[in-house]
């Protein structure tokens, strides 16, 4: 006997089903009844009941990709805030190997990085690493934070949702599994993307959301609806691992192209080029602006 | 058997004061709730689970909850001296104890949850109202729990067992029995008793308070459903 339907809103302590059903995440069994332990929506598959929470904190898991902020620089490691009850550490050897360098010259307090959880020990401290495509420090852009449980919805089936937003807004977007999203593009587009991401977070449980978002994107950017209707794809609420996003390569290639172009355009004496290059790089380094955008929603909790 | 006596404020013996509960009222807290019971106005904020910044409180196998009950200086007729006192320390402790059995903190070892209960206006029965509001805020924060704890009081006024004492009844009455319980299983997580009661009166008071709890519990659930189901 089951007392709820798929995608129903349930509250802690609510009885969901009788004994013949299996208790999945977000539920517990007591006296032969499956009960919810969270405020969330029911996800029913075969005879297994899960509750997908509306709000939750990120608990680090081995292999996850996350976005973190450097909190402290220590002798041989960085302390990283990963928007979780548990802090992360980035050991120096994950970055330089055996070489010895000064840590704060590489990443300083306040830098935001794209990282991989290498290991989680028994006290849930997350050891982080930079191995993988696109891992490293972000330059510029804004950070949007959403509930970690809504991350799979934002990415969509095989990245359908996120790729659509990327294409339409021309923004570079990186999603961390800890609920932080990095967005870089034109200022207007960054703001639009943020609105869209918050909309997805608020309506994650509704079906046909991809089409709704698509229409909104087309309306705002082009002023008209998309040309052809794509068939409705009912998307599942599955915890899919997001694929790695190679923003860094793109960034680097863009920079390289820009430089080449400049070199071709003007061929003055070499001194000027170097001067120009230096100036350019300087301004680029200083362009990281998390603080400027006071209304962006980068709230980290353990300060 | 209930007598049909009408109380000073026009209520029947088994009638609650009007209640209003709202979930998720604060932007920056992980979870929050606002509650009005009669003349009580209570605001609760929940932060966490977050990294325990107090080392000695940290538990290696489970999370910990901390609770602070505070009355605003303007919450009572005579100005209350601000800051913690004997009464608020006691209520902080019993609130944390009343909520703890319902929480499933094993999933968050070495973490800490902070609950801040601010009484903006007080009119009797603030400890029960605080527990009721705090558990709504905990649900709103997404903390896993077995049940939503609810608090309610019964007492003895003019030799009659009555439900949900007001401030006047509390002061002039003969006894006050606040309880907190988990409505699904009926387990009692808080039981205090102040004043003189016979054994039968005590049993009657507990039964009445439990009835009241179930009533309040419905309102808690409604508040949560209301907050999160219309957001479409």
Q: Please check whether residues A174 and A242 belong to one and the same domain.
A: yes
Identify the three-state secondary structure at position A4.
coil
| Any B CB within 8 A of A85 CB | yes
Is a pLDDT exceeding 90 seen at residue A223? no
- pLDDT (mean) for B74-96: 96
Say which range, A42-46, A53-57, A230-234, B69-73, has the weakest mean pLDDT: A230-234
Please write the tens of the pLDDT for every residue from B171-202. 999 999 999 999 999 999 999 999 999 999 99
Domain of residue A200, CATH code: 3.30.1370.10
**B141 vs chain A: nearest CA distance in angstroms?**
7
Is a pLDDT exceeding 50 seen at residue A149? yes
Within a domain: A256:
no
User: How many whole angstroms separate alpha carbon A217 and alpha carbon A169?
Assistant: 8
Is a pLDDT exceeding 60 seen at residue A230? no
What confidence score (pLDDT) does residue A299 get? 42
- Are residues A87 and B51, on separate chains, in Cβ contact within 8 Å? yes
| Number of CB atoms found within 10 A of residue A200's CB | 23
Within a domain: A223:
yes
- Are residues A55 and B49, on separate chains, in Cβ contact within 8 Å? no
Within a domain: A15:
yes
Q: Please check whether residues A35 and A79 belong to one and the same domain.
A: no
Cβ contacts of A57 on chain B, cutoff 8 Å = 30, 48-50, 108, 142
- pLDDT (mean) for B122-138: 96
Is a pLDDT exceeding 50 seen at residue A298? no
Number of domain units in chain A: 4
Within a domain: A25:
yes
What confidence score (pLDDT) does residue A66 get? 95
Residue B91 has φ and ψ, to the nearest 5°, of -65, -35
First to last CA, chain A: 47
Q: Please check whether residues A93 and A122 belong to one and the same domain.
A: yes
Is a pLDDT exceeding 90 seen at residue A204? no
Residue A49's closest CA among A69, A35, A60? Answer: A35
Which of A15, A26, A124 is opposite residue B110, by nearest beta carbon? A124
Is a pLDDT exceeding 90 seen at residue A98? no
Is a pLDDT exceeding 50 seen at residue A303? no
Cβ contacts of A50 on chain B, cutoff 8 Å = none
Largest CA distance in chain B: 56
Is a pLDDT exceeding 70 seen at residue A12? yes
What confidence score (pLDDT) does residue A81 get? 93
CA angle A247, A249, A254 (to 5 degrees): 95
- Are residues A302 and B53, on separate chains, in Cβ contact within 8 Å? yes
Predicted confidence band of residue B45 (pLDDT cuts 50, 70, 90):
very high
Best mutation target, B143, B217, B226, B231, to test chain A (most A CBs within 10 A): B143
Q: Which residue of B has its CA nearest to A298?
A: B28
Within a domain: A225:
yes
Q: What is the ipTM of this complex?
A: 0.89
| Any B CB within 8 A of A29 CB | no
What confidence score (pLDDT) does residue A289 get? 41
Predicted confidence band of residue A82 (pLDDT cuts 50, 70, 90):
very high
| Any B CB within 8 A of A123 CB | yes
What confidence score (pLDDT) does residue A60 get? 92
- Are residues A86 and B142, on separate chains, in Cβ contact within 8 Å? no
Torsion of CA A291, A292, A297, A298, to 10 degrees: -20
- Are residues A85 and B224, on separate chains, in Cβ contact within 8 Å? no
What confidence score (pLDDT) does residue A269 get? 60
Q: Where are the alpha helices (DSSP H) in A72-150?
A: 92-96, 103-106
Residues 218-257 on A with a CB inside 8 Å of B are none
- pLDDT (mean) for A213-218: 86
* More confident of the two residues A281 and B58: B58
User: Residue A207 belongs to what domain range?
Assistant: 142-249
**B146 vs chain A: nearest CA distance in angstroms?**
5
Identify the three-state secondary structure at position A190.
helix
Domain of residue A123, CATH code: 2.40.50.140
Please write the tens of the pLDDT for every residue from A234-270. 444 555 455 555 555 566 666 677 666 666 655 556 6
* More confident of the two residues A283 and A126: A126
């Amino acid at each position: 006997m089951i007392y709820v339907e798929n995608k129903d809103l349930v509250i802690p302590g609510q009885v969901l089903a009788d004994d013949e059903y299996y208790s999945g995440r977000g539920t517990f069994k007591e006296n032969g009844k499956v009960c919810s332990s969270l405020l969330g929506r029911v996800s029913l598959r075969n005879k297994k009941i899960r509750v997908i929470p509306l709000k939750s904190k990120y608990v680090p898991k081995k292999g996850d990709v996350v976005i973190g902020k450097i909190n402290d620089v220590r002798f041989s490691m960085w302390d990283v805030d990963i928007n979780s009850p548990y802090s992360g550490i980035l050991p120096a050897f994950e970055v330089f190997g055996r070489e010895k360098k000064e840590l704060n010259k590489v990443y300083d307090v306040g830098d935001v990085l794209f990282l991989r959880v290498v290991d989680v020990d028994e006290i849930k401290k997350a050891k982080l690493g930079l191995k993988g495509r696109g891992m490293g420090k972000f330059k510029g852009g804004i950070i949007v934070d959403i509930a970690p449980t809504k991350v799979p919805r934002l990415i969509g089936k095989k990245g359908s949702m996120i790729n659509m937003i990327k294409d339409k807004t021309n923004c570079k977007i990186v999603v961390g599994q800890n609920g932080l999203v990095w967005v870089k593009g034109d200022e207007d587009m960054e703001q639009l993307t943020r609105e869209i991401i918050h909309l997805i977070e608020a309506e994650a449980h509704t079906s046909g959301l991809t089409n709704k978002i698509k229409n909104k994107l087309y309306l705002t950017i082009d002023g008209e609806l998309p040309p052809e209707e794509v068939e409705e794809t009912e998307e599942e609420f599955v915890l899919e691992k997001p694929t790695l996003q190679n923003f860094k390569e793109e960034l680097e290639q863009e920079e390289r192209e820009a430089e080449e172009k400049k070199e071709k355009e003007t061929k003055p004496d070499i001194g000027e080029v170097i001067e120009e290059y230096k100036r350019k790089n300087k301004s680029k380094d200083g362009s990281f602006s998390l603080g400027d955008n006071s209304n962006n929603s980068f709230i980290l909790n353990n300060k | 058997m209930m007598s049909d006596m009408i109380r000073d404020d026009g209520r029947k013996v088994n009638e609650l004061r009007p209640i209003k509960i709202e979930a998720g009222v604060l932007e920056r807290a992980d979870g929050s709730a606002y509650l009005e019971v009669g003349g009580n106005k209570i605001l609760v904020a929940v932060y966490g689970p977050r990294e325990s910044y107090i080392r000695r409180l940290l538990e290696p196998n489970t999370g910990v909850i901390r609770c602070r009950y505070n009355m605003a200086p303007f919450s009572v007729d005579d100005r209350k001296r601000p800051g913690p006192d004997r009464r608020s320390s006691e209520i902080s402790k019993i609130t944390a104890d009343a909520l703890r059995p319902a929480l499933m903190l094993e999933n968050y070892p070495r973490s800490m949850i902070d609950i801040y209960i601010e009484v903006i206006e007080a009119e009797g029965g603030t400890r029960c109202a605080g527990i009721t509001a705090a558990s709504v805020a905990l649900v709103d924060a997404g903390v896993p729990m077995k049940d939503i704890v609810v608090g309610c009081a019964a007492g003895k006024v003019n030799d009659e067992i009555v439900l949900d004492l007001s401030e006047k009844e509390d002061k002039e009455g003969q006894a006050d029995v606040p309880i907190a319980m988990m409505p699904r299983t009926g387990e009692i997580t808080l039981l205090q008793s102040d004043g003189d009661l016979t054994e039968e009166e005590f049993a009657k008071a507990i039964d009445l308070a439990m009835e009241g709890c179930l009533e309040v519990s419905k309102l808690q659930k409604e508040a949560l459903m209301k907050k999160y189901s219309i957001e479409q």
